[in-house]
């Protein structure tokens, strides 16, 4: 971990922005994209930063607060379910990444993204395979995006209590599928996803 950031830093290329998303595979709720610029990706306070999927919900919340307190700049873009339907999840994700980077208070010298290159970004950038596991800045962005989205889904659970959003966060689980079959989709379900579309067109 940190090799790419070390090489860039040694070459005098900084600041570095990491970008990642949460909710790409969910069939309900928003897509959330975060971009993070860390003053020092090697700071000891960031030692526990990992891909958000490798951390418990409690640990993600704790590290979220650490990142918030020491990051040079954080930008978060929330793409509603309706926009994901209108544009397609991949196009919505790439546009959200562009918007997240452009929303930073600190302009990056280089941008590292998780998996997908961003066309038309306007900054030198590199798509890193499994970037959320090997680049601290991307891992930090993944935690910001995931915690932000989880909080949104918990709030959504109070508004739509029939679906259990606080538990599965809008992803396809047996409990979510059962609720969908019993109650049909709500306003926060993505109509372009096959399991939701199948219920609408029964």
Tens digits of per-residue pLDDT, 181-192? 999 999 999 999
Q: State the pLDDT at residue 76.
A: 98
- The burial of 72, by beta-carbon neighbours within 10 Å (0-12 exposed, 13-18 middle, 19 or more buried), is given as middle
**Statement: residue 1 has pLDDT above 60:** no
pTM of the model: 0.94
Q: State the pLDDT at residue 116.
A: 80
CB 47 within 8 A of CB 14: no
- The pLDDT tens digits for 20-66 are 999 999 999 999 999 999 988 989 998 888 878 888 899 999 999 99
Q: Tell me which of 2 and 200 has the higher pLDDT.
A: 200
Q: State the pLDDT at residue 161.
A: 97
**Statement: residue 200 has pLDDT above 80:** no
**Statement: residue 201 has pLDDT above 70:** no
Q: State the pLDDT at residue 3.
A: 86
Over residues 73-92, the mean pLDDT reads 97
What residue segments make up the domains of the chain, in order of their start? 3-155
Domain spanning 3-155: CATH 3.10.20.520 = no
d(CA 112, CA 124) in angstroms, rounded, equals 9
Strand partners, 35: 19, 75
Q: State the pLDDT at residue 202.
A: 54
- The pLDDT tens digits for 114-156 are 888 888 888 999 999 888 888 999 999 999 999 999 999 999 9
Q: Which residue's structure tokens are 């992803």? A: 171
Q: State the pLDDT at residue 54.
A: 85
Q: State the pLDDT at residue 198.
A: 85
Give me the chain's average pLDDT, please: 93
Q: Which two tokens stand for residue 141?
A: 């962005």
């Amino acid at each position: 971990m940190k090799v790419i950031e070390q090489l860039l830093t040694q070459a005098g290329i900084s600041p570095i922005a990491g970008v990642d998303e949460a909710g790409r595979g969910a069939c309900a709720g928003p897509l959330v994209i975060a971009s993070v610029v860390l003053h020092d990706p090697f700071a000891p306070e960031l030692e526990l930063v990992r891909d958000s999927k490798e951390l418990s919900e409690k640990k993600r919340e704790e590290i979220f607060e650490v990142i918030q307190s020491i990051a040079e700049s954080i930008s978060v873009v929330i793409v509603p379910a309706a926009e994901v339907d209108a544009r397609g999840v991949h196009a919505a994700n790439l546009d959200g990444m562009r918007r997240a980077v452009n929303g930073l208070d600190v302009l990056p010298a280089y941008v590292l993204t998780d998996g997908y290159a961003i066309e038309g970004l306007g900054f030198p950038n590199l798509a890193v395979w499994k970037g959320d596991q090997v680049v601290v800045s991307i891992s930090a962005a993944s935690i910001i995006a995931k915690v932000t989205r989880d909080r949104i889904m918990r709030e959504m659970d109070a508004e739509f209590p029939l679906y259990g959003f606080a538990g599965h966060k809008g992803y396809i689980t047996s409990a979510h599928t059962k609720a969908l079959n019993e109650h049909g989709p709500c306003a926060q379900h993505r109509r372009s996803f096959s399991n939701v579309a199948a219920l609408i067109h029964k």
